[in-house]
Amino acid sequence: DPALLERSPFELSGGQKRRVAVAGVMAMRPRILVLDEPAAGLDPEGRDDILSEVKEYHKKTGTTVLLVSHSMEDIAKYAN
């Protein structure tokens, strides 16, 4: 959302802050991306958004992604 570019990081919701954090790490193009519960506390839509972005990042870059989650549903849906 372009409107978010003008906002202070302190005005973002928890889910938005989490997305910014994950995006910042992905922007560094690590060889291995380790994410510990990246969707914890997010609503279902936010969870799907962030995990879909991570999966797409993996497909585009070939980066190894280690995803830690208590949700077997998430693992089954997003792991390959």
Query: Quick one: pLDDT at residue 54?
Result: 95
Q: Tens of pLDDT along the chain (80 residues)?
A: 777 788 888 888 888 888 889 999 999 999 999 999 999 889 999 899 999 999 999 999 999 999 999 999 999 999 88
* Domains defined along the chain, listed by start: 2-78 (3.40.50.300)
pLDDT at 19: 87
Rounded CA separation 11/72 (Å): 32
> Quick one: pLDDT at residue 28?
96
**From CA 36, how far away is CA 58, in angstroms rounded?**
16
Question: What was the pLDDT predicted at 8?
Answer: 85
